[in-house]
Amino acid sequence: MINVTQPFLPEEEEYKQYIEGIWERKWLTNNGPLVNELELRLKKFLGLSHLLFVTNGTIALQFAIRGLELKGEIITTPFSYVATTSSIVWENCNPIFVDIEANSLNIDPLKIEGAITDKTQAILATHVYGNPCDIDAIQRIADNYNLKVIYDAAHCFGTKYKGKSVLEYGDISTISFHATKLFHTIEGGAVVTKDPQLLKKIAFLRNFGHNGPESFQGVGINGKNSEFHAAMGLANLPYANDILEKRKQDHHLYNSWLKKLELQDIFISDDATYNYSYYPILFDSEEDCIKVFQALERSHIFARRYFYPLLSSLNYVNQMAMPIAENISKRILCLPLYYYLSNSEIDMICRIILRTLKY
C-alpha cells in the first residue's frame, strides 16, 4: 500500500535520548526546556525573528485571529484545508471568499479589493501547497485599506520569498507541524510574527492567560505543546535539509514521467524558493481525475483530491460561486510524496497514470 504521505521518523535511539531527559526531569509540559530549545532551533533554521510552538496549526490560526482582535469580515480563499475557514468561524468572524488565480491556485489579489466592505478587517490567505501568494500585491491592498494580513502557511516549512522565510510576511503567519507535513512534531504548529508585543500577547493566550501562578493577563486557552512533541521535532530537524532535497528529486522524477501528458503546470514565482511540499497534478477534466484516482486505488495507491470540496460550499458559511476554484478543485489530484517513497514506486504510479489515460 502506498499512501499519499507517510511521516518521517528519526532513528529510534535519537528520539529516546530526548525522552530519557524528560524521564529524568519529570517535566512533561508547561513550556519545558525542550519546547524552548525547539523554538530557538526552528528560528535559527528558518531565519525567523519570533516563533511560538503551539498545539497545532489550527489553534495557531485561531490565535492569529484572536491576537489581532479581529471582528466582522475576513477575506479568504475557498481553496484550502477546512481549518482555514473553520478557524474564522470558530472565532466568530465571517469568511468572505474570493476566487483564486488559475495559474498559482492562490487567492487572486485582483478580486480582493472588490470584496472589501466597511466590515472587512483582514485578509487570510493560504500559500497553497507551500507556493507563496502574491505577497506584495496583498500587502499593498492591506496598506491601502488598513487591513491586517494573516498567512496560512501550513505547508511552508522551508519555503522562501525574496530570500527570506515566507513566514516573515504579513502581520502573522501560521504553520503546521502535523505528522503529514515534511517537518513534523507528531502534532504541532507555530505562530510567527515580527511584532514582539503581539507575540507576547499570543504567549499569554497560549497558556490560559497566566501572568504568574495567581494572576491572569486576559482570557486564554490551553494551546501549549508537550516535551514529547518537542522531542520529536528536535530529533527530526537535523534531517530537514535531506527531506527537502529528496522531495525536490522526487518532484523532478514525476515531472520526467508525466511531461508526456502536457498538463498545466502550477505557476511558482521567480521570487520564491519552493519546498516541494506536495505533488499536485491538474488534469484536463474531472473525468480524467476520477479515472486516475480509481485506477491508483485499485492498485492500493492512495492519492488525494486536495482540496475538494471547496470551503465556499461548506454548510456553515455563506455559499458563493467561485468558478475558477470550483473548476480547479474538480480536476486536481495530489500524488504520493514522502521521504521513504522509492523511485520504483514513483515509476509504477506514473505508469498506471499513463496507461489509464492511454499514453
Which three-class secondary structure state does DSSP give residue 218?
coil
Q: What is the CATH code of the structural domain delimited by 240-356?
A: 3.90.1150.10
**Helix pair angle (286-298, 323-331), 10° resolution:** 30
Q: In whole angstroms, what is the distance from residue 94 CA to residue 236 CA?
A: 37
Please give the pLDDT value at position 293.
Answer: 98
Residue 279 banded pLDDT, cuts 50, 70, 90: very high
User: pLDDT over 90 for what percent of the chain?
Assistant: 94
Alpha helix positions (H), 299-341: 323-331
Please give the pLDDT value at position 298.
Answer: 98
Query: pLDDT digits over 286-324, tens only?
Result: 999 999 999 999 999 999 999 999 999 999 999 889 999
Query: pLDDT digits over 139-164, tens only?
Result: 999 999 999 999 999 999 999 999 99
Which cell numbers hold the place of 53? 510552538
Q: In whole angstroms, what is the distance from residue 239 CA to residue 9 CA?
A: 10
Q: In whole angstroms, what is the distance from residue 256 CA to residue 13 CA?
A: 37
What does pLDDT average to over the chain? 97
Q: Label residue 197 exposed, middle or buried (CB < 10 Å: 0-12, 13-18, 19+).
A: exposed
Query: pLDDT digits over 77-86, tens only?
Result: 999 999 999 9
Judge whether 359 and 351 are in contact, CB under 8 Å: no
Among the listed residues 146, 187, 190, the one whose alpha carbon sits nearest the alpha carbon of residue 167: 190
Please give the pLDDT value at position 210.
Answer: 86
- Per-residue pLDDT at 217 exceeds 90: no
Dihedral sign for Cα 173, 225, 92, 330, please.
positive
Judge whether 198 and 170 are in contact, CB under 8 Å: no
Q: What is the mean pLDDT of residues 95-101?
A: 98
Residue 131 banded pLDDT, cuts 50, 70, 90: very high
Q: What is the mean pLDDT of residues 254-275?
A: 94
- Per-residue pLDDT at 236 exceeds 90: yes
In the chain, where are the structural domains located? 12-98+106-238, 240-356
Residue 359 banded pLDDT, cuts 50, 70, 90: confident
Query: pLDDT digits over 17-74, tens only?
Result: 999 999 999 999 999 999 999 999 999 999 999 999 999 999 999 999 999 999 999 9
Q: Please calculate the CA angle 65-91-178 and round it to the nearest 5 degrees.
A: 70
Residues in the chain: 359
Query: pLDDT digits over 156-206, tens only?
Result: 999 999 999 999 999 999 999 999 999 999 999 999 999 999 999 999 999
Alpha helix positions (H), 211-262: 227-236, 240-258
Please give the pLDDT value at position 215.
Answer: 74
Please give the pLDDT value at position 218.
Answer: 83
- Per-residue pLDDT at 255 exceeds 80: yes
Please give the pLDDT value at position 209.
Answer: 81
Q: What is the mean pLDDT of residues 120-134?
A: 98
Q: What is the CATH code of the structural domain delimited by 12-98+106-238?
A: 3.40.640.10
